[in-house]
Amino acid sequence: MTSFGTEAHPWCTVQYGIGRITGGATLYVKNGTYNEAFTINGPAGTPAAHTIISAYPGHAPILRGSGFGSGRMKITGTSYIDFSGFVITNDNQGLYIDDDAGTGTPPNHITVTDVTVHDVGQEGIAIRGDTTNILLNRVTVYNTGRNGTSSNGEGIYIGGGNAPDNTNAVTVQNSVIHDTQDEGIELKPGTHDCIVEGNTLYNNLAPGSSYSSGGGAIEIDNPSGNYGSNPNHVIRRNIIRDIGFTSGITKYGIRTGTGATVYNNVLYNINANYNAVQCNDANDYPRIIYHNTVDAASNRAVVNSGTTMDSKNNIGPATTNNLAISPSMFVNYTSHDYHLVANSSGRNVGLDLRSIVPTDFDGNPRDATPDLGAFEYERIDH
């Protein structure tokens, strides 16, 4: 009797394989183009034994949809799933992790690693529908919004669209999001306790669409009534660059429309028409803006528009407890190496903010008189 589902006798489609494994098992997928856009709704794993759906080591199988006008990959109604190593393309939306229009069982404890989403009609990755405990690690998203400027085109879209939801505890880390029609990473109203860290974003909001005439490469939307506490988002250690001009589209590097802590980020080549870090909308919870290096005109580096903002130890703004940028501060300003030189005016002049920012961009400890900006000089080998 032939045993199928083995390396010698594999199943022919990913969806068929998922339907045959049990919770806590591993399904490997080898190289090939699989013309599939399917739903993963189990089998759920456990905290001790996740269900793993993964590219075979060294492989990068392609999940190819039927075109920009329809279809998406989806994870819904399940938990403790690790999904890794795939390339998703040619769908209307790339990967959705959501409650599938109200099943009452939002997905949770889902990990997506080393997945690339590119050339899709609208959003690259959407996490919504009251989902919780989602990790995106080392994902790449680019060429979104291929349906045209009447469609969405965010790179990573967290939270509800038409109605706010309670999506929370989402982490996006070590990822690259570029050439997105709309925002690179957007946190919608109602989301809370999300972390965006260690990512590189560039050429976002390029050019923007009818759904987004303004926003940030990293965008925290204004709050909603369904979550009555500080959303407490954390934006740290990201590089945001090359946000260009498009007539009629307002583009920021980071926009905080409600409570957030923003530190150890590096921003440069943000078009001179826009503010690099913009704090606006509701005057509800503090925007804490610490230890960022913002290569922009001082009046556009960190801008507060009627909110509660605490801005300290940044290089970029020329306001109290911050310092305007100067090329002489850095190891190689032209090449955007913003590590400080020995005689930099930003050295050893900061306030002690270690309760919030204990380390610098590179993970080196801060001290009681820290350097300004994202980097500590004395911990860097030049």
For the residues 289-312, what does the mean pLDDT come to? 96
Task: Identify the pLDDT of residue 1.
Answer: 37
pTM score > 0.75 for this model?
A: yes
For the residues 26-48, what does the mean pLDDT come to? 96
The pLDDT tens digits of the residues spanning 91-127 come to 999 999 998 766 788 999 999 999 999 999 999 999 9
The pLDDT tens digits of the residues spanning 170-216 come to 999 999 999 999 999 999 998 999 999 999 999 999 988 877 778 99
Task: Identify the pLDDT of residue 227.
Answer: 63
Query: What is the rounded distance in angstroms from the CA atom of residue 183 to the CA atom of residue 156?
Result: 8
The pLDDT tens digits of the residues spanning 207-231 come to 888 777 789 999 999 877 666 789 9
Look up residue 301 and give its two tokens: 């580096």
Task: Identify the pLDDT of residue 5.
Answer: 82
Of the chain, the percentage scoring pLDDT greater than 90 comes to 81
Domain ranges of the chain: 121-379
Task: Identify the pLDDT of residue 3.
Answer: 62
